[in-house]
Structure 1
Amino acid sequence: MAALNVISQLSLVTNGNLSRVQELIKVSGFVSCTPDFTNTPAVVNGASDLFVEVFGDCGTHSKFAIGVATLPHGVPVEIEFVTHLRD
């Protein structure tokens, strides 16, 4: 859901033209979890997989995932990405 929200915002920025995405550079993921949960990368992998599915080869990227005690507004996952857009 978090990844879909990011794509939705990107669609607004590109006026619905997602083909302007030239390269997805970096994905940052923050996962609200307990201290004993050690599989945060697997949670963020879901977003990574979706980005590659939507953007193809230009959707491959570097990534990090961090577990945190809480996120704003009680959301379970926050995803951010850096992308390069074509003019």
Structure 2
Amino acid sequence: MMIAVLGGVVVVVGATLLYLASPNQRLAKARLPGRLLAWTGIAALASGLALVLRWAGPVASVFIVVTLAMVAWTVLPLIVAWWRGAPEGKS
């Protein structure tokens, strides 16, 4: 069970790195090295899939990884928008 949790954490980290690789991300104000973050995120997703594969079957593992990535890509921009708050002059 611990390997599944570790795999899930690695997948969420990989999805976050892929989010940070996007030029439209709002988490970091500075320009980030997109290509490096993208390749690192892809490697983390693959590593997370390999870890989850040790716990579940192949079809279930792919479903788990894709679902975790989609949840991260859905929730992360909302958290960033809430954290940053409304722009000055708007409320």
Select the structure of larger CA radius of gyration.
2
Same fold (TM over 0.5): no
Q: What range describes the TM-score normalised by the shorter chain of this pair?
A: 0.3 to 0.5
Give the structure-1-normalised TM-score. 0.34
Higher strand content, 1 or 2: 1
**Structure with more relative contact order (C-alpha pairs < 8 Å, separation 6 or more):** 1
